[in-house]
Amino acid sequence: MVHDPDAAARAATEAGLPVALKATGPLRKTDIRVGLTTPGQVRDAYREMAERSGPAMTGGIVRRMVAGGVEVVLGGVNYPAFGPLVMVGMGGATADLLADRSFRVPPLTPSTAAEMIADLRCSPLLYGYRNTPRADITALTGQIVNVGRLLDALPEVAELELDPVLAIPHAATTLHARVRIAPAGPRPSPYTRRLR
């Protein structure tokens, strides 16, 4: 977290260039810059973002860039009458266009999470399609299981979205997360969940 252009430039040097800079605050639209390769670029990007956003920008987040990989979206919802539902799908620009998603009711096991991944039409990209590196499926299934645990344990989490999660050969890194909290009513009957 940084709160001025000079702090952003220092953080970029400490994190290791290239970096991404994301504006924080109650912004109408997320402002993000990627591929910044010098402290000067980071400083200038922070100034431009602050000028455009005004007082709504309360600071920024500087993160080292992760190269390559496959973008995946993870998330879920807690329905008042049904309970939690976990989703995994294709991430990136074409995610909504192709609607390549898989859903399950938690609790989830690693094998169930692996089935969810295998259900996706984009799954060959994760397994090393055409000599591309294989993604860390174990790390990705671990994240899916943890999303299920979170939604099951905290019904106040009405919606959760991790988008994108970048699946690379040695990790599955969440680059952006969004959570909506709402008052939770009584838990739905486990029989209702089984019938639907």
Tens digits of residue pLDDT in 130-174: 888 999 999 999 999 999 999 999 999 999 999 889 999 999 999
Task: Give, for 20, the enclosing helix (H) or strand (E).
Answer: strand 19-24
Domains defined for the chain, CATH in brackets: 5-64 (3.30.1490.20), 70-189 (3.30.470.20)
pTM: 0.75
pLDDT at 196: 44
- The alpha carbons of the chain give a radius of gyration, in whole angstroms, of 19
pLDDT tens-digit series, residues 98-109: 889 999 999 999
User: How many other C-beta atoms lie within 10 A of the C-beta of residue 126?
Assistant: 22
pLDDT at 28: 74
Report yes or no: 73 and 163 within 8 Å, Cβ to Cβ: yes
Residues of the chain with pLDDT under 70: 192-196
pLDDT at 192: 65
pLDDT at 194: 58
